[in-house]
Amino acid sequence: MEFCKTLPTNGFAVQPLASMAAWDYGHADILELRYEDVIVRPYESLLQIFSHLGALADQEFGFFEAARHLRRVFVARGLGRRWTGPAQVPSWNLLATVYDNRFDKQAQGRALGVEDRQSHYRKGVAGDWRNHFRPVHKEYFKENFGDIVVCLGYEETNDW
């Protein structure tokens, strides 16, 4: 669990859990996302994310969108200048991408809740960390990260 204290990011040690505890979740520019909500409502969650970022466009697929798509194909194959992408993504495109990357497809047909410890897509359910936290993990976590689990609403008290 030592790796949780600081994670090297671009050569800098960051403290992700300490940073999360310090965020002002009430600030209008911060969109709080919880894994357990995203996996239950992936379509709504991604629409909410893109809308929050001002990157959601509700427009019909037209000539310009087709041209942008072709440009992406050319750039991906090294046939065009670097493409910077549209400022917004149509909701139908975003929803299709979510569908194409759903858990059962990424897990090669395995349903949510069916565990494969060898897969990056291990189980796909929220809260399973509780099944893997042993007393030694809890002690280490509490000692190093304080009451962040309570602050973020995952437990009622520090007696977890």
Residues 40-98: pLDDT tens digits? 999 999 999 999 988 888 755 555 666 666 666 666 666 666 555 557 888 888 899 99
Residue 121 included in any domain:
yes
How many domains are there within the chain?
1
Does any domain span residue 78?
yes
Q: How far apart are CA 30 and CA 23, in angstroms?
A: 8
Mean predicted confidence (pLDDT) in 121-147: 88
Distance CA 83, CA 64 (A): 14
Task: Please check the confidence at residue 8 and state whether its pLDDT lies above 70.
Answer: no
Residue-level pLDDT at 26: 87
The pLDDT of residue 141 is 87
Q: Which domain covers residue 103, as residue numbers?
A: 37-125
pLDDT averaged over the chain? 82
**116 in a structural domain:** yes
pLDDT at 59: 52
Is residue 21 in a domain?
no
